Amino acid sequence: MDNVSPPERPRTPGPLTQPGQQNPPGQPGQPVPPLPAARPAGQRHSTGWIIGGIALILVLLMITFFCGTCFVLSVFLGGRSFKGDGVALIEVQGVLTSSGGGTGMFEYGCSADMLVEQLHRARKDDRVKAVLLRIDSPGGTPAAAEEVYTEIRRTMEEKPVVVSIGDMGASAAYFIASATDYIMASPDSDVGSIGVIVQIPNLEELNRKIGLDYTIITEGEYKDIGSPYRPVTPQEHAIIEGQMKVAYDNLIKGIAEGREMEEARIRELATGQTWPGVQALELGLIDELGNYRDAAETAGRMGGIEGDVYLIDMSSGSPFSLFSELVSAMKEIANSMEMLRGGGTTETTPIKR
């Protein structure tokens, strides 16, 4: 029998291959589509920055809208709540610094510039017959406390100022309380802590263990004084102690003047410890035991108010306070983005009273 070759199977026509392109094995006549070109690395990074920038702008717009809404409501509603004579309420809460609240995104505190502004507005407001400072603070920086202390003394030339201490009125917070006409505290309030402290961490051993090294380039012998990446030298220790003594002496002098006590007596009490309200009364650090409402009544009577005493919250309706909050929020967002990128700086811990 003659060998008959099987008929060839007709091939399904496919798309033509591109010139210079090889057909893959096993698939004759089938073209391979070209691979997509890889996006340059710089383009990928730029896209990420664009997205991050858009997100930041949206967050800032939301913050601006929120603060603007609060401002409008405070102007149209807050100003109508009370029209008679009353006592200005100013709150000193958390760590006291010159500007901004605290030193981190979630740090609880208050700023000297905010308190100075509120004291100034209370002094110029004809409705305000006296000022009540509600203090619940462990202290703060010397410069911030001195700013508030000075503004309190100015206010006292026109209107009486009374302090109510809550859980704590210590260190720099007690310093500003001592400037007022009258101090009241609860029996168990922590009062005092007259002293100065500087905290400088030493991360040298930790960095050595994890293999982390820093290159610090300075101009000026003491430019990096207080650096956490090395021990403090004897010369630097002497410089810091000298600065602390200046702050300590100013602290003693200010409290002595405010409480009308001898400096020698204040130095005896300036051990850094706190006393409960009952002991603080015996030591002459406060004038009377009483709660927040007692202090408000005392302030009202000292201001010549008869009958019920109404409080006027100086933190509401202030364009300055809303603007300050907006700026602080923007700064915190910028700092957070910098930390996420791996940047940021380390600053020496400020002297705190």
> Residues with catalytic annotation?
171, 223
- Secondary structure class of 84 (helix, strand, coil): coil
**Distance, CA of 309 to CA of 89 (rounded, Å):** 12
**Distance, CA of 323 to CA of 71 (rounded, Å):** 9
**Distance, CA of 184 to CA of 161 (rounded, Å):** 12
- Residue holding tokens 């009483």? 290
Query: 151 burial class (0-12, 13-18, 19+ CB within 10 angstroms)?
Result: buried
The 3-state DSSP composition of the chain as helix, strand, coil percent (nearest 5) reads: 45, 15, 40
**Distance, CA of 232 to CA of 238 (rounded, Å):** 10
Rounded (5°) CA angle 25-26-29 = 85
Per-residue CA distances from 143 to 43, 140, 210, 298, 310 (Å): 48, 9, 37, 30, 32
Q: Which regions of 38-103 does DSSP assign to beta strands (E)?
A: 86-93, 95-97
Q: Identify the CA nearest to 290 among candidates 174, 166, 176.
A: 166
